[in-house]
Amino acid sequence: MARLVIVSNRVPPLKESGPMAGGLTVSLEEAVKRRELLWFGWSGESSDRREPRIASTGNRTHAVIDLTAQEHKLYYAGFCNGMLWPLLHYRFGLAQFRRAEEEGWRAVNRRFAEQLAPLLREDDTIWIHDFHLFPLAAALRDLGVRQKIGFFLHVPFPPPALFAALPRAAALLRDLQAIDLIGTQTAEDAEHLSDALRREGVSAQVGVFPVGINAEAFGRAAAQAASRKDAQRFRESLAGRELIFGVDRLDYSKGLPQRVLGFADLLKRYPQHRGKVTFLQAAPISRGEVTQYRMLRREMDELVGRINGEYAEVDWVPLRWTTRPIQRRTLAGFLRMANIALVTPLRDGMNLVAKEFVAAQPPEDPGVLILSQFAGAAREMEGAVKVNPNDPDEIAEALDLAINMPIAERRERWRMDYDRLAEAGASGWSRDFLASLNRAEFSPSGEGAWK
Ligand code: ADP
Ligand code: F6P
The pLDDT value recorded for residue 24 is: 83
Q: Which CATH architecture has domain 215-423?
A: 3-Layer(aba) Sandwich (3.40)
The pLDDT value recorded for residue 65 is: 98
282 lines ligand 1 (CB under 6 A): yes
- The 10 Å Cβ neighbour count of residue 27 is 24
- Catalytic positions are 154, 348
The pLDDT value recorded for residue 18 is: 55
* C-alpha–C-alpha distance, residues 341 and 384, integer Å: 10
27 lines ligand 2 (CB under 6 A): no
* Closest ligand, as measured to the CA of 212: 1
**Mutate which of 8, 9, 11, 24 to test ligand 2's pocket (most atoms within 8 Å of Cβ)?**
24
Q: Does the domain formed by 4-212+427-439 have CATH 3.40.50.2000? A: yes
Return the ligand 1 atom nearest residue 26 CA. Answer: 14
Return the ligand 2 atom nearest residue 80 CA. Answer: 15
Q: Which residues of the chain carry a pLDDT beneath 50? A: 445-448
What pTM, to 2 d.p., does this model score? 0.96
**Mutate which of 252, 352, 355, 372 to test ligand 1's pocket (most atoms within 8 Å of Cβ)?**
352
Where do the CATH 3.40.50.2000 domains begin and end in the chain?
4-212+427-439, 215-423
154 lines ligand 2 (CB under 6 A): yes
Give the strand order in the sheet containing 125-129.
53-57, 60-67, 37-46, 4-10, 125-129, 149-152, 181-184, 206-208
**Mutate which of 154, 247, 380 to test ligand 1's pocket (most atoms within 8 Å of Cβ)?**
247
Separation of CA 45 and ligand 1 centre (Å): 21
- Tell me the β-bridge partners of 10: 42
The pLDDT value recorded for residue 16 is: 58
Pairing of strands 125-129, 60-67: unpaired
Separation of CA 24 and ligand 2 centre (Å): 6
10 lines ligand 2 (CB under 6 A): yes
Separation of CA 441 and ligand 1 centre (Å): 35
